[in-house]
Every structure is written in structure tokens, then in C-alpha cells.
Amino acid sequence: MEHAGFDAAFAKLAEGYSEGAYEGRRFGLTVRRSADGRRNSLFARELAGTDIVSFNLYRVASDKTLLKPCEMSAEKVVAFVLDFRPDP
């Protein structure tokens, strides 16, 4: 997976459950990271709607990641991670 800002934006998301906004809509999301940082996941659900964002992210080498969206496009996943704004 090649996207300069994706890794930095994903790293800023707090582990566990949090809420925030994406495209003017409220989402609740859960981020999980393995102890070694190689296996990561995100599941987000629109709080007042039906939209979801879900993916697994594997770090297969120090400079490579493998993004596995769950039944959606990689573009949707990347856009969500880049533009999601968590509550303060």
C-alpha cells in the first residue's frame, strides 16, 4: 500500500473506542493494534445512519503495509482515515 499520509493519520487514531466526525456525519470507531504493531484493525459505524468502514492492516516489512478493506474499496478506507476528526 502506498499513501504517504495514511500511516501517519492511522497512527494518530487512539486505540480502543472513540467517536468523531467524517464528512459531517458522526461515527463511532474501534481501533485495535497487536502488541508488536504488525496486525491492526479499524471498524467504524455511522452513529445515525448505516455507513461502515472496516479494514485490517498488516505490516509485512518495516517499510511495507498490506491493507485489506472489508467489502469496500481501498479508496474509501484511505479517505476515511485521512479525513476522520476524533472528538477532543
Per residue in 38-82, pLDDT (tens digit) is 999 999 999 999 999 999 999 887 778 899 999 999 999 999 999
Cα–Cα nearest to 11, from 74, 75, 88, 84: 84
Per residue in 9-50, pLDDT (tens digit) is 999 999 999 999 999 999 999 999 999 989 999 999 999 999
Contact 84, 18 (CB under 8 A): no
Containing H/E element for 82? helix 74-83
Amino acid at 82: L
Give pTM, 2 decimals. Answer: 0.91
Containing H/E element for 4? helix 4-12
